[in-house]
Amino acid sequence: MESSSGNAVAKAISVLQALRSTGDGGSARQLATVVAMPRSTVQRILSTLEDSGMVEQDSVDQRYRIGPQALLIGLGYRKGLDLVSLARPLMIRVRDEVEETVGLSVRVADSRVFIDEVQSRQQLRFASELGRRYPLWSGASGRILMLDLADDELGEVLADESQSEAVYRAVSPQDRRSLLEQARRDDFAVARNETIDNVSSIAVPVRDLDGAVVAALSISGPTSRLAAEKLEQARGVLRAAAASLRPS
């Protein structure tokens, strides 16, 4: 006979699988129909999963979506094969050369998420929160991850204010577009005091064999240390590292 705890885990997995299959998220009612469980049971499971970061509920449309902790667990499973393991030795090399924190970010729906980081050894340094979601339009890494977005999708992303509170300074939608256009011309992006006060960053794209952007490789640190000369050095080092990555 299946234990009650085992049954609960099986139900939670079923809900997560159903949520993953929806693509753009779903309500408790919709998921209950998919997994053939009472809505009250699904709602209880979703609440538990939300508490642990496995799912999150959009404050605007109230739909549930896969959360950052589920993303990180998936990344951990694939770590021996994926971009994280390929990038880490290069990130360590970049950190040692530039002496600032190096981050690797990917797009998750309309957000950007740090999936790995090599911290600076300096006493005053930037440290991200792996798995935390930030608006896709925010920061240097966000602009890099938007480089390939089509116009119809781009307008919606740039106008999205649902995550504005996650950053220190939310630039206007007009500035978001102009900053992205600059990043497209330069093939790199710089942000000063946006996500976190007194922290600046520079990011470059990591592309696959077809040239599509799959991640952003960045350097972040105190604005006082990332002056123009340091940013120029960081850009060259980052570009060399990104060119060495060829995910399939």
CATH architecture of 4-66: Orthogonal Bundle (1.10)
Q: What pLDDT does residue 205 have?
A: 95
pLDDT digits (tens, 9 = 90+) for 18-39: 887 776 678 889 999 999 999 9
Distance (Å, whole) CA 146 – CA 202:
15
The CATH number of domain 72-243 is 3.30.450.40: yes
Count of C-beta atoms within a 10 Å radius of residue 146: 25
Distance (Å, whole) CA 3 – CA 166:
41
Nearest to 105 by CA among 4, 202, 3, 230: 202
* pTM value > 0.75: no
Q: What pLDDT does residue 1 have?
A: 39
Task: Report domain extents, the chain.
Answer: 4-66, 72-243
Strand partners, 172: none
Q: What pLDDT does residue 196 have?
A: 82
Angle subtended at Cα 81 by Cα 76 and Cα 84, rounded to the nearest 5 degrees: 60
Q: What are phi and psi of 182, to 5 degrees?
A: -65, -45
Instruction: For the chain, list residues with pLDDT below 50.
Output: 1-2, 77-81
